[in-house]
Amino acid sequence: MRQKPRKIARYVSLAALAGLLALAGGRRASAQSATLQHGSGAAAAASSNQYVGNATCAMCHQELASQMADNPHHKITMLEGHAGHTCESCHGPGRAHVDGGGDITKIRHFDVLTPSQIDATCLSCHAQTHPNFMRSPHARAGVSCLSCHSIHKAEPETTLLVATQPLLCYRCHSDIKPSFAMPFHHRVNEGLMQCTDCHDVHGTFQANNLRNTVDQNMVCVKCHIDVRGPFVYEHAPVKAEGCMGCHTPHGSVNARLLNMPNINVLCNQCHSQVAADTVHGMNAGSSDSIPCTTCHTYIHGSNMDEAFLR
């Protein structure tokens, strides 16, 4: 029984020692944290000192500054009290550029950047709007944002295109341009449609940058609502191959933008052979009979007849 006070005293001593060690560790951690915070604050202050502001840029670049008055980028700056998007948001800190007497090697100069470097600069703000651009055919071909957009353009139009559609697209896609001069074509040149009605130029998961939809035919039937469906009796190729199984989208010498000049030949690509001595009275690939759609009128789908008869 006499040993209990000694044990208690020993436990008290150990607890006191542990408390002292914890206190010392806490003070050391607090000191380290304060040092880190001071260091990061100093780094942030040093970094902010590298920026000179729009007013300084305008002293030399007066022409560009005056053009920016109606520009969407400038409007963002005004909305955020000159603390938002500035010249240096794109061109980087300007202190070294100013101190160097306008040395262009001390600033981000887009004329010497690669397309991928230009794209990375733009996507630092626009990545949420165009998340698929870097996988797009345009990006892979080295077509940068500045190939289509004029960033300093003095217009309130938010897209800031260097030219209007379709002329802008024709600069590269000259092979597509003749299609819209064919007898039957979508009225793009007439201004009733634009390339971007069907294509998302900033990238999609579809071929040819077609706009993504749950039903890919929606790219077409958002305008051609009479064949949208759904139908009780669906025409299988419409769902399996899509509209382009029978139609060419840009322009054609064939009526209704069909892939074949004769509708019977088109149908016989799948429905061959339609045997002789049947109700059709046709041989394989026959093109001298009346058109298939004379009877099979609702060829896109029907709510009345599984053979799409009228």
Residues 173 and 261 in one domain: no
Residues 110 and 145: their CA atoms lie apart, in Å, by: 11
Instruction: List, for residues 1-56, the tens digit of each pLDDT value.
Output: 444 555 555 554 555 555 555 555 555 545 444 444 443 444 444 466 888 988 89
Q: Highest mean pLDDT range out of 57-66, 192-201, 291-300?
A: 192-201
225 has which bridge partners?
Answer: none
Is 181 inside any structural domain? yes
pLDDT above 70 (res 74): yes
Residues 161 and 145: their CA atoms lie apart, in Å, by: 10
Domain boundary among 179, 212, 245: 212
Task: Quote the pLDDT of residue 32.
Answer: 45
Task: Quote the pLDDT of residue 254.
Answer: 96
**Contacts (Cβ under 8 Å, ≥6 apart) of 95:** 49, 50, 51, 52
Other beta carbons within 10 angstroms of residue 73's beta carbon come to 19
Task: Quote the pLDDT of residue 75.
Answer: 78
Other beta carbons within 10 angstroms of residue 302's beta carbon come to 20
Residues 307 and 274: their CA atoms lie apart, in Å, by: 14
Is 295 inside any structural domain? yes
Domain boundary among 212, 240, 274: 212
Q: Distance of alpha carbon 24 from its chain centroid, rounded?
A: 55
Is 26 inside any structural domain? no
Expressed as residue numbers, the domain containing 241 is 225-302
Q: What is the DSSP letter of 210?
A: B
Domain boundary among 183, 212, 241: 212
Q: Which segment of 20-29, 31-40, 120-129, 284-293 scores lowest on mean pLDDT?
A: 31-40
Query: What's the predicted TM-score (pTM) here?
Result: 0.76
Q: What percent of the chain has pLDDT over 90?
A: 53
Is 293 inside any structural domain? yes
For residues 277 and 71, the model is more confident at 71
